[in-house]
Chains A and B, each alone.
Chain A
Amino acid sequence: MSLWEYANPRRFMAVSGRVLPWLGWLTGLTLAIGLIWGFFFTPDDYRQGSTVKIIYLHVPAAMIAINAWGMMLVASLVWLIRRHHVSALAARAAAPVGLTMTAIALATGAIWGQPMWGTWWVWDPRLTSFLILCLFYLGYIALWNAIEDTDTAADLTSILCLVGSVFAALSRYAVNFWNQGLHQGASLSMDAKENVSNVFYIPLLFAIAGFILLFLTLVLLRTRTEIRSRRLVALKLRERMAHA
């Protein structure tokens, strides 16, 4: 079976309709395990005290905020190259979820930064590129809503997505590009020496898995909504032309 079969809206609706309830339950379960374990059953850090519990929110949200834009980039490229409507609608569906994750990462980062760094905000490379990514999300959503013709909106937002990808990449690698600023390096890496301690690591993995599943669930749900809305617009247009 080819992946492109899911570019057919009817096929996408049938498969996603079957998968969504299971995905929803799995998301709830994984998120609950990660957050309850992290909040109630992990010790304080010897330097950061109980603020270390914010890691179960901040790190997964930041990861999804960046990778959601990556998913939108792939979907936008599929739209630009192969003109599959479902991919353009999936990119549109992912944007509000990505924006929410970016807002969570910024808010929890500021709340965590205040007691640890002594300030809510600094114009650090990673924080600044994250703020710009947040503005790109807002611009992307506004552009979709500003243009009535779906194909034109998909074209223009896809180009905007390509440009914004620079800041999504910067958000991830800013710490490596510019070895300055208050924000530390990655909390998780392939190098085990750089990872957080195991006592925090396993619940963090559950929280990350929960956030990933939540993103997938919401994108599927919202893509179905976009497909239905697009069909409704097409049917209304057809009816109007039939009566003209």
Chain B
Amino acid sequence: MPDLGKYAVEVLAAYGVTLVLLAGIVALSLYQARRSKRDLNRFEGHDDA
């Protein structure tokens, strides 16, 4: 861990907020992708892949 000095809170907060937002959009996109694929496969009568 680098020595962030007196700005440690600001730097860690910036990285924390960014990683949470990026993880959120990635997780949401993957969840929606899986759900749409499952629903379409189910409707078309294919096995859920």
Contact = CB atoms under 8 A, between A and B. Distances in A.
4 closest A-B pairs by beta carbon, nearest first, are A228-B36, A50-B4, A100-B25, A108-B14
A218 B17 contact: no
B contact face: mostly helix, strand, loop, or mixed: helix
Contacts of A108: 14, 17-18
Given A108-B14, A235-B44, A221 B39 contact: no
**How big is chain B's contact interface, by range?**
20 to 34
Interface string B29-44: 1101100110110011
Interface stretch (A54-62, A155-163, A175-183): A54-62
Interface residues of A, number: 34
Contact of A50 (B7, B13, B32, B44): B7
Contacts of A228: 36-37, 39-40
A11 interface: no
B22 A100 contact: yes
Interface of B: 1-8, 10-11, 13-15, 17-18, 21-22, 24-26, 28-30, 32-33, 36-37, 39-40, 43-44
Contact of B2 (A39, A115, A222): A39
Contacts of B6: 49
Contact of B40 (A39, A40, A50, A232): A232
Contacts of A214: 22
Contact of B10 (A39, A40, A51, A225): A51
B13 A111 contact: yes
A9 interface: no
Nearest to B26: A218
Contacts of B39: 228, 232
Interface string A28-71: 00000000000110001000011101100110010000000000
A82 interface: no
A187 to B, nearest CB: 15
30 contacts: A40-B1, A40-B2, A49-B5, A49-B6, A50-B4, A51-B11, A53-B11, A54-B10, A57-B14, A57-B15, A61-B18, A96-B25, A96-B28, A97-B25, A104-B17, A107-B17, A107-B18, A108-B14, A112-B10, A112-B14, A114-B10, A218-B26, A218-B29, A222-B29, A222-B33, A225-B33, A225-B36, A228-B37, A232-B43, A235-B44
A214 B29 CA distance: 12
B29 A111 contact: no
B10 to A, nearest CB: 5
A224 interface: yes
Contacts of A235: 40, 43-44
